[in-house]
Amino acid sequence: MRHLVFVYGTLMRGERNHRYLESSIYRGRWRTPPVYNLHSLTSYPVACPDGRQRLSGEVYRISRQTLCQLDGLEEYPLVYSRKLITTPWGPAWLYLQAHAPAEAIPLPSGDWRRRTARPQCRSGFEPVSIRQPFSAQ
């Protein structure tokens, strides 16, 4: 059986966990209705319901086996829940958490790719350097 999944973070093309979707069929980029909140836990995002943001992401057609692998990655149902949402390609699974963890940083754009820190390695991010003007004292 085939399923659709909407991904908005490390599973998107060019991100570190995209390998889980390499054998899946890419359907296209899409933005959800403005009913979510997106947060960063530095190395991955968390989407929560009951917000006002559109999530930017990608839709893939996946196998049952890939869905099981994604469930393991997302620690479903212990950490994330799954919700079916309507996309232009049909109903797709979206992984959500009921509430953002306390240390989560809001991402007002709803777009993981517009975060201000970039991956340094698999386990973390290198902060963006902001140059301070030189001040003579």
Active-site positions read 74
DSSP character string of 31-73: E--S-EEEEE-SSSEEEEES-SBPPEEEEEEEEHHHHHHHHHH
Q: How far is it, in rounded angstroms, from Cα 12 to Cα 135?
A: 42
Judge contact between 4 and 87, C-beta under 8 A. Answer: yes
* Residue 58: strand pairing partners: 7, 29
Chain centroid offset of residue 111 CA: 8
